[in-house]
Amino acid sequence: MSGRWREALRPVRAGRPRTADDGLPPSSHPAGTLLAQVTGVRLERGGRLVLDDADLAVRAGEVHALLGPNGAGKSTLLGVLTGDLVPEAGTVTVDGREVGAWHPTGLARRRAVLLQQVTVSFPFTAEEIVRMGRAPWARTAAEDDDDDAVASAMAAVDVTHLAARTVPSLSGGERARVALARVLAQRTGVLLLDEPTAALDLGHQELVLQLAREHARAGGAVVVVVHDLGLAAAYADRVTVVSEGRVRACGPTREVLTASLLSDVWRFPVEVLEHPHGGAPLVVPVRAHTRATTPASR
């Protein structure tokens, strides 16, 4: 892991809290520790059932990808986990406590959220936006780390050179990276990322998922919504496939990402092929002009 990633992902320094809230939780945990969980969730929106009996377990040491076609319920499931959406049935816990029972500050010290769309109407600079990620640690010992956390997070996602630029002047991809830097600067154990690669070029897509992997390896957990099945195959330890509001499959990435399941859920023929040089499998669509010539997939 490069120096800039190590600094951005470094756990929050322990110390006596200066507020009467619930103190400074660790941002690093033993692998396999259950950090958040969704159990039997049912949610309706606008009279339509969007989640039905959905489960999700978030464990330290794992990058967990949420996959599914448009409208499947991926972002909705993530929204339930963040606490932004309240289900009609089921339970949602973070660090062993129901998500609704947390004070907002205590919750923000345990999980950081990257929304699918981030709108900034005022001319804040990129650095000011990233610094907002430190708000949960105000008046605590961790406040001493603010400058380092901000600088490290900006370096990790390659936006240091944008520090003085106003957000409205940035491109879509630059704004997305600044938003991710804010999440990293928050230095929580759990990262909840909704389509963090959607506006990014190839190199920065890889960078984001590499950062996710390093955060998990450092004892954190990452839940990420992605549309690129190849990225999920390359970086996720576990995947949950959502279709029409229900969890169709959940488990280790190689076991879940099969051609038959993906073709059925996405309603388009897909092949899952072994990479010729080893490593992660390749997930590719079967296009009309190649269907007669491609080898069998698993």
Per-residue pLDDT tens over the stretch 142-153: 999 999 999 999
Helix (H) or strand (E) holding 6: helix 3-8
pLDDT tens, 215-251? 999 999 999 999 999 999 999 999 999 999 999 999 9
What's the confidence (pLDDT) of residue 116?
Answer: 84
Strand pairing class (111-114; 190-194): parallel
Q: Which residues sit opposite 114 in a β-bridge?
A: 193
Distance, in Å, from the CA atom of 183 to the CA atom of 283, rounded to the nearest integer, reads 29
Predicted local distance difference test score (pLDDT) of residue 22 = 58
> How much is the pLDDT for 85?
96
Q: Mean pLDDT throughout 154-174?
A: 96
Q: Over 90: is that where the pLDDT of 209 sits?
A: yes
Type of residue found at 196: P
* Whole-number pLDDT of residue 290: 60
* pLDDT score at 288: 80
The average pLDDT across 271-288 equals 89
- 243-207-2 Cα angle (round to 5): 135
The C-alpha angle with vertex 262 and arms to 71 and 59, in degrees rounded to 5, equals 75
Letter for the amino acid at 72?
A
pLDDT in tens, 84-99: 999 999 999 999 999 9
Tokens representing 138? 């105000």
Q: So what's the pLDDT on residue 131?
A: 98
3-state helix, strand, coil in the chain (%, to 5): 35, 25, 40
pLDDT one-digit tens code per residue, 93-127: 999 999 999 999 999 999 999 998 777 778 999 99
Percent of the chain with pLDDT over 70: 89
Instruction: Report whether pLDDT(276) > 90.
Output: no
63 touches 47 (CB < 8 A): no
pLDDT of 298 reads: 58
> Alpha carbon 191 to chain centroid distance?
5
Residue 238 in contact with residue 253, Cβ under 8 Å? yes
What are the φ and ψ backbone dihedral angles of 124, each rounded to 5 degrees?
-65, 150
Structure tokens given for 133 = 């990620």
User: Token digits for 126?
Assistant: 């990129």
How far apart are the C-alpha atoms of 33 and 18, rounded to whole Å?
28
Please tell me the distance from the alpha carbon of residue 253 to that of residue 230, in angstroms, as a whole number: 11
Q: What percent of the chain has pLDDT over 90?
A: 81
Q: Dump pLDDT digits (tens) for 1-44.
A: 444 444 444 444 333 333 335 567 887 899 999 999 999 999 99
Q: Which domains does the chain have, with CATH numbers?
A: 3-256 (3.40.50.300), 258-298 (no CATH)
Q: How far is CA 194 from CA 52, 185, 191, 222, in A?
A: 20, 17, 10, 11
> Which residue reads 């400074």 in tokens?
24
Q: What does the pLDDT average to over 45-59?
A: 96
Note whether 90 and 37 are within 8 A (CB). no
Task: Please list, residue by residue across 69-91, b when 16 or more beta carbons sit within 10 angstroms of its beta carbon and e when fewer do.
Answer: beebbbbbbbbbbbbebebeebe
* pLDDT value of position 18: 36
CB atoms within 10 A of CB 170: 18
